[in-house]
């Protein structure tokens, strides 16, 4: 049960906000009405303005000028209009008015965005233009050197790829596609694993207008040396970036890393390379090497700064992904211990499914339970603690263990057990609110299967008969746990037809922010009727696939029981 009253957790700023905030370019966000809704500190510094002088202002009126400082008409303005929300723009020189009355010549580009909570429809990134004529080569610059506008565009495109893709390693390949061949002939990414081992995880060559992944040059690397002064070793330690060439590794190698680098230069024909650490906010996660095969295209120190900027963006994304992976592994391990093994019942089939919340820590407050009672009945439980994070999981474990103990030790009707649990919960657990169904499944001497159950604010079980007739068992309705209200609880009783299927579930299966509960209930009932004859495992899988809303942001627990046919 997602805590709908709590504000939704913001996206991790590691990949998006940090990259934009620390960008060397000035960046501001434009909303649907053309007003500025956010600006990074670099933009404020370039414009010599304070945040309150920028945020909320009409971007056109505030910033759009010609070379003489006159306001550009909206019709003639490239940066105005709704077109910013639909496609990217890049331009040559423009002029931005500054707080001291001067004009800042600059180059800019826009990137359209999916509207978010701020209403952002586009990011505008700008950078001071070179004092020389646009396109004029700088002294000592590589023939391959990018203009300031091209550098800005490359950084913006790199950031966009890394923050818009959940699969970070897939995004890395797309970042390499941005760098090759416009910046280099070769790209090499060495990553440090969780166990401090080094892997040459990606080697890509630009050749004949195509990119080729060189798997023969990828694989495990020697460990990071503690004190080697060689460029890659220093980059992997996060010490510094460097320019290098084959001659850098001509002497006797001081470490295994130096041996591998010599092999790389020999195999690729790289004559000049820029090597930079891939560093996240808290740890070094690898190194980026870009190489060119022509000696007359030697990297410059200015280009090394660009490679550092790209590597820093990669590092933020990788560290964030690594943190997420650690969290998911902890959550998955915890979940395995929290969810129980099912008892074996003579003739009765039983199966369960659990799907974690996609946007949380992959563990939550939904649970199922089933266990045999001393008298031979089987207790069935489906429950949902508010929230879908580790706190909710811990509360769920407390509640589940208390309910197990009460149900097993006291031969009470289900509604008495739940009432006792509700009274105790507020005093000896951290759970604020929860829903659940507690049921007892019993076989009568005449062979009939009887279900007695009570509901504490939980969606009703679904009974699917063998011929496809379905109905929700909503005879027992009670308020959820944790309200402090002492209303008496009730229970209901039903005889389960031979061959029928009983479905217990949590609300993540039928409800989402865009789908009402009643719509989800009708949808599940319709699909369950079609699946009535399916084997139980197939029934559970198909029910999840066809019923769970596409925009679901809650975890899901499912418990299904198949009653045997009368002949059994």
Residues 554 and 503 in one domain: yes
DSSP 3-state of 549: coil
Whether the CB-CB separation of 382 and 436 falls below 8 Å is answered with yes
118 domain residue, yes or no: yes
Residue 70 CB partners (closer than 8 Å, separation 6+): none
- Report the distance separating Cα 394 and Cα 401, nearest Å: 11
pLDDT value of residue 133: 35
State whether 430 and 287 are in the same domain.
Answer: no
CATH number at residue 414: 3.60.40.10
Q: What does pLDDT average to over the chain? A: 83
Residue 540 resides in a domain = yes
Q: What is the DSSP letter of 246?
A: G
Lowest mean pLDDT, pick from 117-121, 420-424, 445-449 = 117-121
Residue span of the structural domain in which 283 resides: 165-338
Of 196 and 418, the one with more pLDDT: 418
Please give the DSSP secondary-structure letter assigned to residue 35: B
For 25-49, the pLDDT digits (tens) are: 889 988 888 899 999 998 998 999 9
Nearest to 366, CA basis, from 178, 504, 209:
504
Domain boundary among the residues 320, 338, 356 is at 338
Based on the domain organization, do 236 and 93 belong to the same domain?
Answer: no
Q: Is the model's pLDDT at 170 over the cut of 90?
A: no
Distance in angstroms (rounded) separating the CA atoms of residues 85 and 81: 9
Structural domain contains residue 80: yes
Task: Examine the pLDDT at 362 and tell me if it is beyond 60.
Answer: no
In tens, the pLDDT along 292-324 reads 999 888 998 889 999 999 999 888 888 877 777
159 belongs to a structural domain: no
Q: What is the CA radius of gyration of the chain?
A: 31
| CA pair distance 505, 503, nearest whole angstrom | 6
Range of weakest confidence among 84-88, 122-126, 193-197: 84-88
Does residue 241 lie within any of the structural domains? yes
> What are phi and psi for residue 108, nearest 5 degrees?
-145, 160
235/373 same-domain check: no
Same domain, yes or no, for 327 and 183?
yes
- Structural domains counted in the chain: 3
Residue 113 lies in a domain: yes
Q: CA-based angle 413:416:420, to the nearest 5?
A: 140
pLDDT of residue 10: 37
Residue 144 inside a domain? The answer is: no
One domain, residues 414 and 456: yes
Say whether both 432 and 499 belong to one domain: yes
Residue 505 has pLDDT above 70, yes or no: yes
Token pair recorded at residue 259: 């041996």
Cα dist. 324→21, 167, 279, 360, 462 in Å?
21, 12, 17, 10, 36
Which run of H or of E encompasses 21? Answer: helix 17-21
| 345 in the same domain as 315 | no
**DSSP secondary structure string for all residues of 321-362:** HHHHHHHHHHHHHHHHHHSPPPPPBTTBEEEEEEE--TTTTS
- pTM score of the predicted model: 0.53
- Residues 127, 202, single domain; the answer is no
> Within this chain, do residues 99 and 52 fall inside the same structural domain, yes or no?
yes
Mean pLDDT (whole number) for 70-88:
58
Tokens of 358: 């996609």
Which of these three, 290, 314, 338, is where a domain ends? 338
CATH code where residue 291 lies: 3.30.450.40
Does the pLDDT of residue 177 top 50, yes or no? yes
Q: How many other CB atoms sit within 10 Å of the CB of residue 563?
A: 25
Model confidence at 56, in pLDDT bands (50, 70, 90)?
very high
Q: Is the pLDDT of residue 147 over 80?
A: no
- In angstroms, the CA 235 to CA 255 distance is 14
My answer on whether 184 and 311 are in the same domain is yes
Strand, coil or helix: what is 4?
A: coil
The answer to the question of residue 257 being in a domain is yes
pLDDT in tens, 263-302: 999 999 999 999 999 988 888 999 999 999 998 889 988 8
Final residue in a domain of this structure, among 322, 338, 354:
338
Q: Are residues 189 and 306 in the same domain?
A: yes
């Amino acid at each position: 049960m997602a805590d709908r009253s709590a504000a939704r957790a913001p996206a991790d700023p590691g990949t998006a906000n940090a990259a934009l905030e620390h960008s060397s370019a000035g960046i501001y966000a434009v909303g649907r009405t053309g007003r500025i809704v956010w600006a990074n500190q670099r933009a404020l510094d370039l414009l010599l303005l304070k945040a309150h002088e920028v945020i909320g202002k009409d971007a056109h009126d505030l910033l759009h000028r010609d070379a003489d400082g006159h306001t550009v008409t909206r019709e003639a303005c490239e940066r105005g209009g709704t077109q910013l929300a639909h496609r990217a723009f890049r331009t040559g020189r423009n002029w931005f008015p500054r707080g001291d009355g001067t004009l800042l010549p600059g180059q800019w580009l826009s990137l359209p965005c999916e509207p978010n909570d701020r209403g952002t429809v586009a990011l505008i990134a700008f950078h001071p233009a070179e004092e020389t004529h646009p396109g004029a080569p700088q002294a000592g610059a590589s023939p391959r050197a990018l203009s300031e506008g091209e550098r800005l565009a490359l950084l913006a495109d790199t950031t966009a790829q890394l923050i818009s893709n959940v699969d970070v390693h897939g995004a890395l390949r797309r970042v390499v596609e941005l760098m090759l061949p416009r910046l280099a002939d070769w790209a090499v990414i060495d990553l440090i694993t969780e166990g401090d081992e080094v892997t040459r995880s990606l080697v890509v060559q630009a050749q004949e207008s195509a990119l080729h992944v060189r798997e023969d040059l990828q694989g495990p690397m020697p460990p990071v040396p503690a004190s080697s002064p060689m460029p890659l070793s220093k980059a992997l330690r996060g010490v510094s970036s460097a320019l290098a060439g084959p001659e850098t590794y001509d002497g006797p190698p001081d470490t295994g890393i130096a041996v591998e680098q010599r092999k790389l230069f020999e195999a690729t024909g790289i004559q000049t390379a820029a090597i930079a650490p891939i560093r996240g906010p808290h740890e070094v996660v690898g190194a980026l090497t870009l190489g060119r095969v022509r000696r007359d295209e030697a990297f410059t120190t200015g280009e090394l700064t660009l490679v550092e900027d790209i590597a820093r963006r990669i590092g933020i994304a990788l560290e964030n992904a690594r943190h997420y992976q650690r969290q998911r592994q902890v959550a998955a391990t915890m979940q395995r211990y929290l969810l129980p093994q099912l008892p074996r019942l003579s003739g009765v089939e039983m199966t369960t499914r659990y799907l974690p919340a996609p946007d949380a820590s992959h563990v939550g407050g939904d649970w199922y339970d089933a266990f045999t009672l001393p008298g031979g009945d089987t207790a069935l439980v489906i429950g949902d603690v508010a929230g879908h994070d580790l706190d909710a999981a811990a509360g769920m474990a407390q509640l589940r263990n208390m309910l197990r103990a009460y149900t097993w030790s006291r031969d009470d009707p289900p509604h008495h057990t739940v009432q006792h649990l509700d009274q105790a919960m507020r005093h000896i657990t951290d759970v604020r609110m929860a829903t659940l169904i507690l049921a007892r499944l019993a076989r009568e001497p005449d062979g009939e299967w009887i279900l007695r159950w009570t509901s504490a604010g939980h969606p009703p079980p679904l009974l699917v008969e063998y011929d496809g007739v379905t109905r929700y068992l909503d005879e027992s309705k009670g308020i959820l746990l944790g309200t402090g209200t002492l209303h008496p609880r009730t229970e209901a009783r039903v005889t389960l037809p031979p061959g029928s299927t009983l479905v217990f579930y949590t609300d993540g299966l039928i409800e989402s922010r865009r789908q009402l509960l009643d719509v989800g209930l009708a949808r599940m009932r319709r699909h369950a009727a079609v699946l009535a004859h399916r084997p139980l495992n197939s029934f559970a899988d198909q029910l999840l696939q066809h019923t769970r809303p596409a925009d679901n942001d809650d975890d899901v627990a499912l418990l299904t029981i198949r009653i045997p046919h009368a002949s059994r």
